[in-house]
Structures are given as structure tokens and as C-alpha cells.
């Protein structure tokens, strides 16, 4: 086989090769010519998935339909998810910042050198364009997720939605809020009973979590805010979250949760029987409503 399929050469190398062919060109001309040909430096995009559920498009349309229904009724609708855990300490953080001198950080990223590890669970209020982050020191469990939603309901939801009777939660299909987790449903039942809310949950199908609104309307803003900044303490994490803002009016609040949560907790038959679960006709494993139990 002959012929060049692809190459990775610097502008200086390309300029030297062109000069050998008789062209009068400098290396600074190469990027300009490439731009005229619509070539730019691009990174990879995480858009492909090995798992493509045949029902994906129909579920995405259903998620949008539920969102519009709750908006018409002026009932709260939130997008939730757990953000990547962050090591606390003098570690290198991706990104760059304008400085006269670079910051010195640890040469290794060993967990043993960390002060701790921050578990982050976020809640994005779709109608208000506001965020809330629960910053924990323990594990990301269904109980931790429900505590974050409960705190949002008490501190933020009760202010903007004083007379709400139902709540829409849009979440991924895995993690602390997995669609097949009975522990997640048990924790939602506690919220439904405490606040007398009918909680409707719609899960994004596998491989579609990047379309969850919280990812690009909240998490990306926070990541950009602390890009290139070592997260040396939990206070630093809270500061960067609370100062994350956009020109469209988005801002975020945060709460530091010092409680440790038990992992691998089993749901008892009594707890499972107590869940007042109402699956939807369309894809009941992804769409369901949990209603409060009558006392």
C-alpha cells in the first residue's frame, strides 16, 4: 500500500517541506491557510456509545414531553446527577489560568496523599436556572442523593414553589439514582411522605447521560470555574461552586455534608412494600411516579 493516509506534523515541518518544493512560505502562514480551508485544532467529542437502546429516541421525546407538562403546571422540575469525585489536596487540576508563574503541585496523584475525597451530588432547577450542590465526605449513595434533594426542597424549592403538589426528577439510569435501585425508590418514598408530593421520575436511557441538562448547564460551568486551580480543601471546593455564574443568570449554592453513609445497604421486604409506586405505561422501568402514602 502506498499513499499518506494521515500525518501529524508541526507548522515548521510543513513549511520546510513546502520550501523544498519551491514555495516561499513561513511557518506562521500555515495556520492561516488551514483556517481558510476550515481546518481548526479540535479535540475529541464524547458522543458515541457502545450501547444503543432501540427505545432511546422515544424515551428522549417522552422526557421532553414531561418537562413541558410540568412547566405548564408551574410545578418544580429538577435535573439531578452525581459529579465526578474530586481528590482534596495539592493536586494538578485540568485546565489553565492566567498567572505570572505556574503553581507547584504534587508530582503524583496518589489517593494516600489526599486530605479527603469530595462526593458531589448536584440538583439543577430547570425553570429557575439555578443549581445546588451537596458536597460530602463519604460515599455517593441513594440516601446521600435523597438528602441533597430534601435540602433543596427545604431551602430553595419551598421558596420558589410554595404550593407545589408534585415534583419532576430527571436523572441518569445508573449511580445513586439508578432506575433499577429499590433503595433509591425507598428514599424517594420518604420524601413523598414528608412533603406530600407526587414525585415523577424519568430516567435517561443508557448511553444518553450527556444529554442530562445538569451536565452542560451546571457541571460544565463549575468545572470551568475551577479549571487549573488545585482543590486544596473542602472550603476551596465550596467557594468555587458558590462563585460559579453565567451571563444567563445561572448561579449555584452548596452545602457541606460531614455525615458518613453506609454502602451496600439492603432494602427490607417491608420497605419495598411501603413504596407507593405507579409505573407509567411507556417504559415503566424508566418512568414512574411515587405518591405519598395515606396516613
Please report, rounded to a whole number, the percentage of residues in the chain having pLDDT higher than 90: 78
Q: Give the pLDDT mean for 28-52.
A: 82
> Is residue 6 included in any domain, yes or no?
no
Are the C-beta atoms of 143 and 164 separated by less than 8 Å? no
d(CA 287, CA 157): 22
The CATH number of residue 182's host domain is 3.30.420.10
> Is residue 81 included in any domain, yes or no?
yes
- Per-residue DSSP letter, 86: E
Question: Each residue of 63-116: pLDDT tens digit?
Answer: 999 999 999 999 999 999 999 999 999 999 998 888 889 899 999 999 999 999
pLDDT of 9 reads 83
Looking at the structure, tell me whether residues 92 and 122 fall in a common domain: yes
Looking at the structure, tell me whether residues 62 and 86 fall in a common domain: yes
- DSSP E strands: which ranges in the chain? 77-88, 116-125, 130-136, 166-171, 198-203, 251-257, 277-279, 287-290
pLDDT of 151 reads 97
Is residue 1 scored above 60 in pLDDT? no
Range of the domain at 34: 11-42
d(CA 256, CA 238): 8
Looking at the structure, tell me whether residues 195 and 124 fall in a common domain: yes
> Is residue 2 included in any domain, yes or no?
no
Looking at the structure, tell me whether residues 37 and 133 fall in a common domain: no
Number of domains in the chain: 2
pLDDT of 44 reads 83
| Residue 255 CB-half CA count within 13 A | 20
Looking at the structure, tell me whether residues 26 and 93 fall in a common domain: no
287-290 vs 277-279, strand pairing mode: antiparallel
pLDDT of 61 reads 96
pLDDT of 39 reads 86
Looking at the structure, tell me whether residues 133 and 278 fall in a common domain: yes
77-88 vs 116-125, strand pairing mode: antiparallel
Looking at the structure, tell me whether residues 116 and 157 fall in a common domain: yes
> Is residue 30 included in any domain, yes or no?
yes
- Residue of 177, 133, 175, 137 whose CA lies nearest to 151: 133
Strands in 116-125's sheet, in edge-to-edge order, are: 251-257, 130-136, 116-125, 77-88, 166-171, 198-203, 287-290, 277-279
Answering whether pTM is above 0.75, one says yes
Is residue 41 scored above 90 in pLDDT? no
Look at the alpha carbons of 104, 107, 109, 113 in this order and tell me if their dihedral is positive or negative: negative
* Alpha helices in 243-289, H assignment, sequence order: 269-274
> Is residue 184 included in any domain, yes or no?
yes
Question: Each residue of 159-170: pLDDT tens digit?
Answer: 999 889 999 999
Looking at the structure, tell me whether residues 148 and 190 fall in a common domain: yes
Is residue 49 scored above 70 in pLDDT? no
Locus of grid cell 502506498 = 2
Looking at the structure, tell me whether residues 28 and 67 fall in a common domain: no
- Residue 268: count of CB within 10 angstroms of its CB: 11
Question: Each residue of 194-231: pLDDT tens digit?
Answer: 999 999 999 999 888 889 999 999 999 999 999 999 99
Looking at the structure, tell me whether residues 71 and 131 fall in a common domain: yes
Locus of grid cell 414531561 = 66
pLDDT of 149 reads 98
Looking at the structure, tell me whether residues 80 and 17 fall in a common domain: no
pLDDT of 161 reads 93
Locus of grid cell 419495598 = 272
Are the C-beta atoms of 128 and 160 separated by less than 8 Å? yes
Q: Is 181 helix (H, G, I), strand (E, B) or coil?
A: coil
Looking at the structure, tell me whether residues 271 and 171 fall in a common domain: yes
Phi-psi sector, 278: left (phi>0), alpha (psi -120 to 50), beta: beta
Burial of 56 (0-12, 13-18, 19+ CB in 10 A): middle
d(CA 86, CA 52): 30
Is residue 270 scored above 90 in pLDDT? yes
Question: Each residue of 169-201: pLDDT tens digit?
Answer: 999 999 999 999 999 999 999 999 999 999 999
Amino acid at each position: 500500500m502506498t499513499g499518506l493516509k494521515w500525518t501529524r506534523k508541526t507548522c515548521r515541518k510543513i513549511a520546510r517541506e513546502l520550501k523544498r518544493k519551491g514555495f516561499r512560505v513561513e511557518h506562521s502562514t500555515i495556520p492561516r491557510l488551514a483556517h481558510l480551508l476550515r481546518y481548526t485544532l479540535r479535540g475529541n467529542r464524547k458522543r458515541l456509545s457502545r450501547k444503543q437502546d432501540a427505545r432511546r429516541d422515544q424515551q428522549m421525546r417522552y422526557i421532553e414531553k414531561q418537562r413541558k407538562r410540568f412547566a405548564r403546571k408551574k410545578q418544580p422540575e429538577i435535573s439531578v446527577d452525581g459529579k465526578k469525585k474530586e481528590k482534596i489536596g495539592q493536586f494538578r487540576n485540568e485546565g489553565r489560568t492566567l498567572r505570572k508563574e505556574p503553581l507547584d503541585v504534587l508530582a503524583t496523584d496518589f489517593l494516600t496523599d489526599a486530605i479527603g475525597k469530595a462526593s458531589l451530588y448536584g440538583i439543577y432547577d430547570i425553570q429557575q436556572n439555578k443549581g445546588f450542590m451537596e458536597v460530602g465526605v463519604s460515599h455517593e449513595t441513594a440516601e446521600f442523593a435523597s438528602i441533597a434533594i430534601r435540602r433543596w426542597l427545604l431551602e430553595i424549592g419551598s421558596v420558589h414553589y410554595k404550593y407545589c403538589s408534585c415534583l419532576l426528577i430527571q436523572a441518569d439510569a445508573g449511580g445513586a439514582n439508578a432506575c433499577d435501585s429499590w433503595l433509591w425508590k425507598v428514599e424517594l418514598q420518604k420524601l413523598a411522605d414528608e412533603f406530600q408530593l407526587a414525585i415523577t421520575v424519568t430516567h435517561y436511557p443508557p448511553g444518553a447521560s450527556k444529554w442530562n441538562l445538569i451536565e452542560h448547564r451546571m457541571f460544565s460551568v463549575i468545572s470551568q470555574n475551577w479549571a487549573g486551580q488545585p482543590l486544596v480543601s473542602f472550603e476551596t471546593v465550596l467557594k468555587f461552586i458558590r462563585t460559579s455564574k453565567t451571563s444567563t443568570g445561572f448561579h449555584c449554592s452548596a452545602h457541606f455534608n460531614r455525615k458518613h453513609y453506609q454502602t451496600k445497604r439492603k432494602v427490607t421486604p417491608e420497605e419495598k412494600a411501603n413504596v407507593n409506586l405507579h409505573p407509567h405505561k411507556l417504559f415503566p422501568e424508566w418512568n414512574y411516579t411515587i405518591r405519598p402514602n395515606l396516613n
